[in-house]
Structure 1
Amino acid sequence: MATVVAGNTRRQQIGWLPAEVTSFVGRRHEVVEVKQLLSTSRAVTLLGVGGVGKTRLALRVGIEVRRAFRDGVWLVELAALTDPELLAQVVAETLEIRDHTVCSPMQVLISHLRDKQALVILDNCEHLVYECAVMAETLLRAAPELRILATSRQALGITGEQTLPVPTLPLPLSDNPGMPIEALMQCDALQLFTERARAILPAFAITEDNQDAVLRICRRLDGLPLAIELAAVRLRALSVGQLLERLDDRFRLLTAGSRATLPRHQTLRAMIDWSFSLCSERERLLWERASVFAGSLDLEAAEAVCVGEGISREEVIDLVIGLVDKSVFLREEQRPGVRYRLLDTIREYGRERLIASGQEVTLQQRHRAYYRALAARARAELFGPSQVTWFARLQLEHANLRTAIESYYADPAEVRAGLGMAADLLYHWITSYYLAEGRRWLDRGLALDTESSEVRARALWSNSWLAIIQADITSATTMLDESRVLGEQLGDELVRGYVALYSGMIAMYRGDTEAAISLYEEAVTRHGTTKDPVGRALALIRLSLAHSYLGDSAQAISLGDECLAVCDAYGEGWHKAYTMMALGVEVWRQGDLHRATGLEKQSLTFNRSLDDPLGVGVNLEVLAWIAATEKHYQRAARLLGILETVWRSIGAPLSGFGHLVRYHDECETRTRNALGDSAFDAAVKRGARLSYDEALGYALQEDAPPDEKAPEVPARLTRREKEIAALVAQGMTNKQIAAALVIAQRTAEAHIEHILNKLGFNSRAQIAVWFGEQVRAADEESGDARD
């Protein structure tokens, strides 16, 4: 069975495809055909039974064509998705669209992809065929340069769709016992068997003694890749001859001796049946019980959910190892630790067995209870040294968290538990791709459970923060009003403190800074009384920004320092990063540009490690303002270009910090005036074209030359390119430039092409205008320096 691990390639290139950790065997013809279909059709669907290798083929095609798609190739895994309403949300999450607006996920996708040249691979569409068809057709109509490659057991049935049935791996035409081994090894099915067998037995090879048996095994398995891989694993314990003997017995039983008409679907099921029968009784139990997990699971989850009635906690690790050895569990290396994934076919098989045993409901209840407790632990340990680890773990568990909340909401007696869980995950919704989804879970729970309770009050103020980030102030105000009433009725100081905090954010958003300060001060006091460091830190950050906005520098710095002390006392990082951001704003306003830069870069480094888009965006804003203040106008413009991409992905400029927009506008105006329109637009375009890693590396000046601190008037052209740009500005032709510089005309043409690419231009006239503006800007800055 092919092993696919979650390769963390998102930040090495645009797009996301998991790493291939086993060799890709055969399919040369299919790869070429899919690429040809994609060149002529915008929708291609790979069809075939489970286990035939549709996903692996799509992944290989994606890897080979990704250079052809400016905005990336993205694999969207749908196997774990059971709720059709979340389809667009899952696609948006995979495309790393962090949208904080109130738009529907489908609207967000349309807006994001409208001008993108990308390939989206929708993997495992068969259980969502109608929904995938509607979404694919809608996106293709809205985004003219988008292409979609789907894998499914049936066609989507959309306009313009091209389908390609994915066959099993080819086999020799006959069982010729004298066929040369070299000829056998040209056969994809035997090559796959050999390579997977070598992963188990490094010395394995097809020889004259075993070649007939290997060939017959591949024939019995009908060339089905999953079946071949499952069979190869058995060589850990069996010889090739023993493997063949047991395959003969098994298939004779299942097919009543009619191998000539053996359906491939039946072959796969027979293979999984057989693999199941080779597991121990307790391994089978764990396989069945692990089928309640969505996506993947770790050892702790298996020990919590799958034990009892035949499996003790002490046995779980050995059973997991056994199932990994049998390729039932796929081992994945992740940052917090090892996780285990079941292929969809394997999971569905286990789920059928679990349902038949009558234990499905019991296991679902254990699953949701475990993840409810996990969410509560994450909330309790949020403000401390394990914070980043929790954020990373919750992202890995997102599919299971979603499944657990859905299970609670489906049980009328347990809705409140689900609502509390959704509220506990507030920081998970905010610091990842899931803000809009978190808002929907909270909205849904609040609509289902309308009785007064502490859980409802907490869910209301949690949801209000999400609404504020989305700039949905009306909804946020309504929720805070109800939460305030509940807090008064329950005498709950914690609720009152958060209501004051988020009400202050609304007041700040509306321009009433004095009212905001009063509310923030109330929040600081109440959170001090309840000894809640989370609320206190948030209130201090916002209070510092509010005083800075009014020009009260001393108070702004004092409050920031107080917040840093709170964070340091608990070993906390995320709120500390936002505190440094807030202090950086004020220190920049005071004119201490060196210290402001240091604070913002420290903050950005942490937010980058956490992959927090909102924090990254605000840090980049302040660094752009600092660059413009230092007259590094090229750097300021490029950072503004990076910000265009960041804020577009989130859905709102300075989301949640709207009162800072005036500094952005002032920075943009000053930079444009200094560079001139053409140079400014070119620098912005260069920034917008940078990949995520390149953009943050540039912002942190990781690869900056020693003279980066000097004012950046000219663009980063070589000396020769600047010389040629000056001659272009004089109106010289390529031939005249070549003669003047004593170089070949072809060389001059190449230099001009490089200049156009670097500046984002498409004509010589633009170079001439740009050069003139550079000269004027340099003269103006020289004059400023003399003054």
Structure 2
Amino acid sequence: MTTVTTSASRGQHNSGGLPAEVTSFVGRRQEVAEVRQLLSVSRAVTLTGAGGVGKTRLALRVAHEVRRAFRDGVWLVELAALENPGMLARAVAETLEIRDHSTDPPLQVLADHLRDKQTLVILDNCEHLVDECAVLADTLLRAAPELRIMATSRHVLGIASEHAVPVTPLPLPDGDGAPLETLTQTDAVQLFTERARAVLPSFAVTDDNRDVVTGIIRRLDGLPLGIELAAVRLRALSAEQLLERLDDRFRLLTGGSRAVLPRHQTLRALIDWSHALCSEEERLLWHRASVFAGSLDLEGAETVCSGTGIDREDVLDLVIGLVDKSVLIREDHPGGVRYRMLDTLRQYGRERLCERGEEARLRRRHRAYYRDLAGRARAEVFGPEQVAWFNRLQLEHANLRSALDGWLATPADAAIGLSVATDLLYHWITSYYLGEGRAWLERGLAAVTSPDDVRGRALWAGGWLAVIQADLPAARAMLEECHRIGERLGDESLLGYAELFTGMVAMFQERPRDAIVSYEHALERHRGTGDPVGLALSLIRLSLARSFVGESDAAIDAAEQALKVCDAHGDGWHKAYTMMALGVEVWRQGDLPRATELERQSLAFNRSLGDLLGVGITIEVLAWIAATQGLHERAGRLLGVLETVWSLVGAPLSGYGHLAGYHEECQARVREALGEAAFAAAVRRGARLPYEEAVAYALQEDKPGGPDPKEAPEARGEQAALTRREREIAQLVAQGMTNKEIAASLVIAQRTAEGHIEHILTKLGFNSRSQIAVWVGEQARADGDALS
């Protein structure tokens, strides 16, 4: 079994929050079965063991095998790069893709989100945060009765409900007398063979080398990470040479004794050897790359790690060398290739960096690089590279967090940290980090009190985040101070943004005329400074406000101006919000096809970006349109979808509270048209859809031509609402199979089969298995008619 850690970025996710396995999983059948069984009876399972023993891979393998038993997903929370204990709850929330816009404490947000969820959360590498992980796990388990937590740690968490499973090295093979076929089936030999073939495709265990291979594994004490690091040496050495060098190295540590080494010494010695086999420049790059949190790309390595011993143009070859030696792990992302270092190797590199007296200097270079990166992102936030920057900052979040923590912990650098936190404003808004972003800004504002443009920018940025969180008193206070600083400095940009977000506060307080005045003033100032971001934001909000007071022509004019600004700069995100705003007014005027198309385009973009707030607002308008069209069943389901989306965001219509009246009117119209029972059923069906299916339903991707107003709403979408697995199980129900028989037929747990059947009943609005059977027959007849 290997301990390779894989990316948990959204681009790599499958199975509802698990990273894809980049190398094959070998062995551990008994351990997998034991942990699976424990998870069925215990709510907290901790895999304990030394570094390099394979805790993470065992946890991932179990998670992949049990994922179907958890209807709300299985999530891997990687904690190795998290240095600030205070960020633990936020790190878990962002992994679970919770975009909470409330002001509640992160742990409370987590507890509320998981309260009714059937979820498995894996807390990976807890040992440096063991007390904080214990508190978090205990709190969440008490709040969420269907939650399971699996942790990997060198120490147990120590909570009452915990079951600890020691993860030991792979059993050592018996090389004497065992048939070759039996020997090659042992876990340790299989792992060594597979990893050896990755670098030497012709490698095989034979009668000639069997003793050498078993000798290598014995010298490595069966440690999976040790086996992997040693196997890569076969690129340059024969198996005999590899064993000889292992013997020499380990004998030095024991004064010539052949006694088995303590395992931590074995691993340390092997890493020492890997280190010694690197060139001087490769070793230096290894040390310096250890300052990165999470992962790094080639640009980061070239900028931070070059100089004094490493020429920038040589970094690529050195990176390739470290990948070849399994020190760095290559990961492919849509934005390009990144490199990750196993935590054990990162800690080793950090120790060596400290020994050289270079850690402080490299951390400063790391922070400077991310200061410049944030500045570049801010400069290009309104343009064709916008989405690429949003995605890149997501991948760099662990590094950005580390850099911010370093600046704000140093009084002399706090102003830089505050400026960077402000530059990252769109990262906070478009990702899972809105609450975290506001916390960084508030920490910086507490440390940087000079009434200058740095504080002024941070104040209006914090004000915007507070508005989105509906924290109006805090927003007003920040915006008023920003206005005072702007007047003192004569800074039109500060004054423009203060006016813009003051207008948003007025809209929240149901003072649309005051809001319009503020938006107009903001617009005038941003035109004067030539700021396209300020122009677009002001025009979008002005359009919504004009629409709200019934000034249709002015609303459409403002939105069309905003579209021109966005198109002139190749912007997509602001354009999506502009189309949403324009769609609201077009709907109010009765042009339902155009309004639908505007909202669908906006929704498609926001889905691709993962912007839940944008997704929620556009689905709101689509629900209103459906109700106006008389598609009451569809409108009801969309209202149910919104329950899911707004629960993920943390607040309904976050930042757009003035539109709540339209939501209430839609709800009342659909309830009256369907009747209370049918309305509740439609909402329930929508709320039960998984997120991706829900958005696809809102986009009507199952029917590209769009809705037919004459189509009976009840007849639409029911089959599409079932997943492929659910349709398969529905067929087996129709054949009269019991839950146990279905589970055996599909090789799944009976509990899983029962869960699927419950989902089918809920989605179709049925209350018995016989209704499912009738429905399957009707679908089959309908399909036959369509083919005849």
Partner residue, 1:680: 679
Q: Which residue of 2 aligns with 1:51?
A: 52
Return the alpha-carbon distance in structure 2 between the equivalents of residues 637 and 561 of structure 1. 31
Q: 1:245 to 1:447 in 2, by over 3 A?
A: same
- Normalising by structure 1, we get a TM-score of 0.91
> Which AA in structure 1 matches 2:297?
D
Residue of structure 2 equivalent to 1:363 = 362
The 3 A distance-change label for structure 1 pair 4 and 352 is closer
Conserved? CA contact 1:11–1:693, under 8 Å: no
State the partner residue of 1:616: 615
CA contact (8 A) 1:170 1:189 kept: yes
**Structure 2 length normalisation: TM-score?**
0.91
Counterpart residue number, 1:406 = 405
> How do 1:158-177 residues align onto structure 2 when only pairs under 5 Å count?
158-172=159-173, 174-176=174-176
Q: 1:122 to 1:563 in 2, by over 3 A?
A: same
TM-superposition CA deviations, 1:420-443 (whole Å, max 9, x none): 000000000000000000000000
**Could you give the per-residue CA deviations for residues 391-431 of structure 1, whole angstroms, max 9, x where no partner exists?**
00000000000111111011111100000000000000000
**SS of residue in 2 equivalent to 1:714:** helix
Deviation of 1:91 after TM superposition, in Å, equals: 0.3
Look up the equivalent residue of 2:587 and give its one-letter code: W
1:420 counterpart residue number: 419
Unaligned runs of 5+ in 2: 720-733, 743-756, 773-788
Provide the residue aligned with 1:446 in structure 2: 445
Deviation, 1:119, is: 0.6
Q: Which has the larger displacement, 259-268 or 337-346?
A: 259-268
Q: Is residue 33 of structure 1 aligned with residue 38 of structure 2?
A: no
Q: Partner residue of 2:516?
A: 517
Amino acid of the residue matched to residue 767 of structure 2? Answer: N
2:234 is the alignment partner of 1:229: no
Structure 2 SS opposite 1:626: helix
Cross-structure match for 1:113 = 114
**Paired residue for 2:556?**
557
| 1:759 paired residue number | 764
* Percent identity between the two aligned chains: 67
How far did residue 9 of structure 1 move?
A: 7.0
Please tell me whether the aligned partners of residues 8 and 76 of structure 2 are also in contact (alpha carbons under 8 angstroms). Answer: no
Whether 1:541 and 2:522 are equivalent positions in the alignment is: no
| Corresponding position of 2:64 | 63
Provide the C-alpha distance between the structure 2 equivalents of 1:163 and 1:97, rounded to a whole number of angstroms.
Answer: 29
Counterpart Cα distance in 2 of 1:754 and 1:454:
55
Cα displacement (A) at 1:335: 1.0
CA contact (8 A) 1:682 1:761 kept: no
Q: How does 1:340-351 map to 2 (within 5 A)?
A: 340-351=339-350
Q: CA deviation at 1:713?
A: 3.7
Whether the 8 Å contact between 1:11 and 1:692 is mirrored in structure 2 is no
The aligned counterpart of 1:671 is 670
SS state at 1:15 partner: coil
| Deviation at residue 762 of structure 1 after TM alignment | 3.4
Q: Aligned-pair distance for 1:686?
A: 1.6
1: CA distance, partners of 2:490 / 2:79: 45
Equivalent residue, structure 2, for 1:245: 244
Contact 1:419 1:459 in 2 (8 A): yes
Per the alignment, residue 144 of structure 1 pairs with 145
Rounded Cα–Cα distance in structure 1 between residues aligned with 2:614 and 2:168? 48
Tell me if structure 2 keeps the 8 A contact 1:621–1:643.
Answer: yes
3-state SS of paired residue (1:311):
coil
- 1:135-284 matched pairs, under 5 angstroms: 135-172=136-173, 174-176=174-176, 178-284=177-283
Q: Distance in 1 between matches of 2:15 and 2:535?
A: 39
Partner of 1:132: 133
Aligned pair in 2 of structure 1 residues 509, 9: CA closer, same or farther (>3 Å)?
closer
SS of the residue aligned with 2:204? coil
- Structure 1's 551 and 148: CA in aligned 2 closer, same or farther, altered over 3 A? same
Task: Give the alignment of 1:491-530 within 5 angstroms.
Answer: 491-530=490-529
Cα gap change, 1:293 to 1:9, in 2 (>3 Å): closer
Which residue is equivalent to 1:637? 636
- Taking the aligned partners of 2:568 and 2:228, their CA distance within structure 1 comes to 53
- Give the aligned partner of residue 21 of structure 1: 22
Aligned counterpart, 2:745: none
Deviation per CA, 1:351-405, whole angstroms, max 9, x where unpaired? 0000111000000000000000100110011111100000000000000001111
Q: Deviations over 1:112-169 (max 9, x none)?
A: 0111111100000000000000110111111111110000001000002100000111
1:628 aligns with 2:627: yes
Residue 39 of structure 1 and its aligned partner are, at CA, apart by 1.1
- Alignment correspondent of 1:595: 594
Structure 1 residue 756, shift from structure 2 partner:
3.8
- Encode CA deviations 1:224-278: one digit per residue, 9 max, x unaligned: 0000000000011111011111111111112323443411111111111111111
Equivalent residue, structure 2, for 1:724:
none
The AA in structure 2 aligned to 1:759 is L
Distance 2:689 2:13 in 1: 12
**Within-5 A mapping of 1:718-733:** none
- CA deviation map 1:566-614 (0-9, x unaligned): 1111111111110000000000000000000110111111111111111
How far apart are the structure 2 equivalents of 1:512 and 1:338? 50
Q: 1:82 to 1:27 in 2, by over 3 A?
A: same
Which residue number corresponds to residue 351 of structure 2? 352
Distance 1:539 1:745, change over 3 A: closer
1:312-327 paired onto structure 2 within 5 Å? 312-327=311-326
Secondary structure of 1:76 counterpart = strand
In 2, Cα distance between equivalents of 1:124 and 1:581: 43
CA spacing shift, 1:401–1:415, aligned 2, 3 Å: same
How many pairs are equivalent?
739
Alpha carbons of structure 1 residues 154 and 718: separation in structure 2 relative to 1, 3 Å: closer
2:428 paired residue number: 429
Counterpart of 2:126 in structure 1: which amino acid? Answer: C
1:123 equivalent in alignment to 2:128: no
